[in-house]
């Protein structure tokens, strides 16, 4: 009669499956955070804090001016999001970071950035839930709100200036009597 030997592995097949599922979940979460603000960046921080969090951030020679006193005075190295290369611009008002814009030109793409916009909308739904959306012949827009920020994605479909924009801005809650 032959002797049977059992080898006891430190893991069972069920455990392997659980580990694989956990790894897949981890990578899915990392993919969702691919469109989040850069590590260490938060709305409300100062320019000095931004420089520490994003060492590649540099002052802009000609800052963009937006309503409400916002000044796009800092930019960082381009980042790849949803298959496009976005340039991040940091807008300050009252010495605090109030808005972060990621803008990518898309006129060179056959779809004008439609696939990247769709991917960002899926990401937003996964992170923030259902969006408030608008869709007209020249622009598509999806927006979400959470406790501290308003986030939106915009797709400009003009053939000569197609672009995709992802914006985080500090949430401003107003009393109805202020309107």
Domain positions in the chain are: 13-178
pLDDT at 72: 96
What does the pLDDT average to over 31-56? 84
The string of pLDDT tens digits covering residues 101-137 is 999 999 999 999 999 999 999 999 999 999 999 999 8
- For residue 80, CA distances in Å to 8, 14, 159 come to 45, 37, 22
- For residue 65, CA distances in Å to 26, 68, 110, 166 come to 39, 9, 32, 18
Dihedral over alpha carbons 140, 145, 149, 150 (to 10 degrees): 20
pLDDT at 96: 96
Structural element, H or E, at residue 119: helix 114-128
pLDDT at 5 over 90: no
Max distance between CA atoms of the chain, in angstroms, equals 92
Query: In whole numbers, what is the pLDDT of the chain averaged over residues?
Result: 82
DSSP 41: -
The answer, as to whether pTM is greater than 0.85, is no
């Amino acid at each position: 009669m032959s002797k049977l030997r059992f080898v006891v592995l430190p893991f069972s097949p069920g455990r392997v499956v659980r580990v694989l599922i956990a790894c897949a979940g981890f990578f899915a979460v990392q993919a969702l955070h691919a469109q989040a603000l850069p590590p260490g960046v938060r709305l409300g921080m100062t320019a000095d804090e931004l420089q520490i969090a994003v060492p590649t951030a540099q002052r802009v020679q000609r800052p963009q001016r937006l309503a409400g006193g916002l000044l796009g005075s800092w930019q960082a190295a381009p980042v790849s999001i949803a298959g496009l290369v976005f340039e991040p611009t940091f807008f300050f008002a009252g010495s605090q970071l109030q808005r972060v814009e990621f803008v990518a030109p898309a006129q060179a793409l056959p779809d004008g950035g439609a696939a990247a916009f769709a991917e960002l909308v899926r990401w937003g739904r996964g992170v923030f839930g259902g969006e408030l959306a608008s869709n007209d012949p020249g622009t598509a827009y999806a927006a979400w709100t959470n406790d501290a920020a308003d986030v939106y994605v915009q797709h400009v479909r003009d053939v000569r200036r197609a672009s995709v924009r992802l914006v985080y801005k500090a949430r401003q809650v107003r009393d109805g009597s202020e309107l």
